[in-house]
Every structure is written in structure tokens, then in C-alpha cells.
Amino acid sequence: MRRLREHREDVLRFLSDPEVPFTNNIAEQAVRMPKVKQKISGCFRNFDGAGAFCTIRSYLETLRKQGVDLLHALVQSFQGETLQPAMG
């Protein structure tokens, strides 16, 4: 309670700034998939495999949030024409 009182303006910023989301579910959802993958298979076999999984997952999640057709983006990537997500 003390921390909430001390940081009241930051905690309630979503009320005055429409750009600030009400929850941090987007951040939690981004972490959920690698944890589910790890739980199902028991672990990643090596660090490089975990890194590749996270890179691909991050790329696809960014495109999904930007409304891009993921199947089309994957097809383009395999054809050597990787679609670049919009920045900013």
C-alpha cells in the first residue's frame, strides 16, 4: 500500500493518458509462449535453439500486432523477401 501511495501518479497514469494501457497483459502474453514451449518439451535443447525460437516468435508477434497476414509474411521470408515490421 505504501508503494502504491508513493507512486500513485504512475499507477493511475492510464486515467489521464489514453496511450497508457490499463494492464500489462501485452508484456505478460509475450513471455507466456516461450514458457509454455519450455514446459511442454521440458527445456530448450541449447541456447541457440532458444534464441532462434524467441527471434521467430518476436518477429511474428510484432507483425501480428501491426495487422500483417502472418502466413504471407512467412511465405515471403522463405522466398528470401523478409517483410520488415514498421518502426515507431
What does the domain layout of the chain look like in residue ranges?
2-78
Task: From 67, 53, 62, select the one nearest 87 (Cα to Cα).
Answer: 62
Structural contact between residues 82 and 62, judged by C-beta atoms closer than 8 angstroms: no
pLDDT of residue 88: 66
pLDDT score recorded for residue 71: 94
Whether the full predicted model's pTM is greater than 0.85, yes or no, is no
What span, in angstroms and rounded, lies between the C-alpha atoms of 6 and 1?
9
Say what percent of the chain tops pLDDT 70. 94
Q: Is 71 left (phi over 0), alpha (psi -120 to 50) or beta?
A: alpha
